[in-house]
């Protein structure tokens, strides 16, 4: 189940707010300019489905977002607990960073943990299958997929080069709960 916890940046173990209500999560994130939606597939997605089949199942929503926001490319990322680069990939996303474009992810299967740091608060968003999150450009954040990632996500980009990060150098992400604590 999707979850939002909000922390004061100086109190990483004491949530000020917590909700599992999708509408309430979306309303809180909207205040930050973050889009949070639920999508339904038009076809059944089977394990091991091709990138083309996954994109086709969500084509109406993908097309809507591409037209609304000028995204120029879409792809699918799939990580499993036995992926040979899972630990390297996890480390890459765990440090606070920004992007010059929106970071748009739709979780087809599995889950992942976004932490947004737009001010003196940290917004921990557990995204699960059916969740779309769009983090606005230049928003400080980090992402944790856990030590045994298991998710399929559609990604949309303005930049044809795909995921390009600018790391802040702030060690704040090291102080906050990891994926394993959020899903426990």
Interval 77-131: pLDDT, tens: 999 999 999 999 999 999 999 999 999 999 999 999 999 999 999 999 999 999 9
Alpha-carbon span 15 to 125, nearest angstrom: 12
> Distance between CA 65 and CA 78 in Å, rounded?
21
Q: Rounded distance, CA 36 to CA 135, Å?
A: 9
Question: For 48, which DSSP code?
Answer: T
pLDDT for res 48: 76
Nearest CA among 2, 11, 3 for reference residue 121: 11
Neighbour tally for 35: CB within 10 Å: 18
The CA distance from 50 to 76, in Å, is 9
146 close to 114: Cβ distance less than 8 angstroms = no
5-52 pLDDT, tens per residue? 999 999 999 999 999 999 999 999 999 999 999 998 877 787 678 999
- Round to whole Å and give the CA distance between 140 and 176: 14
Nearest to 28 by CA among 2, 51, 64: 2
How many beta carbons lie within 10 A of that of residue 11, not counting itself? 12
**Angle CA(32)–CA(35)–CA(38) in degrees, nearest 5?**
140
pLDDT at 172: 97
Q: Say yes or no: domain 3-183 is CATH 2.60.120.10.
A: yes
pLDDT at 162: 65
pLDDT of residue 159: 77
């Amino acid at each position: 189940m999707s979850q939002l916890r909000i922390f004061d940046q100086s109190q990483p173990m004491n949530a000020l707010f917590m909700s599992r209500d999708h509408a309430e999560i979306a309303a809180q994130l909207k205040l930050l300019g973050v889009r949070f939606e639920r999508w339904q597939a038009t076809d059944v997605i089977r394990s091991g489905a091709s990138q083309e089949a996954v994109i086709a199942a969500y084509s109406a929503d993908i097309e809507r977002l591409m037209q609304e926001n000028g995204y120029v490319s879409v792809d699918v990322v799939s990580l499993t607990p036995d992926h040979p680069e899972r630990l390297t990939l996890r480390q890459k996303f765990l440090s606070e960073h920004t992007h010059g474009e929106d970071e748009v992810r739709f979780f087809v299967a599995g889950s992942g943990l976004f932490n947004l740091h737009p001010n003196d608060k940290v917004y921990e968003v557990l995204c699960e299958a059916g969740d779309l999150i769009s983090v606005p450009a230049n928003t400080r954040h980090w992402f944790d997929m856990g030590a045994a990632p298991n998710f399929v996500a559609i990604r949309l980009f303005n930049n044809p080069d795909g995921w390009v990060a600018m790391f802040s150098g702030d060690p704040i992400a090291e102080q906050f709960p990891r994926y394993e604590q959020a899903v426990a």
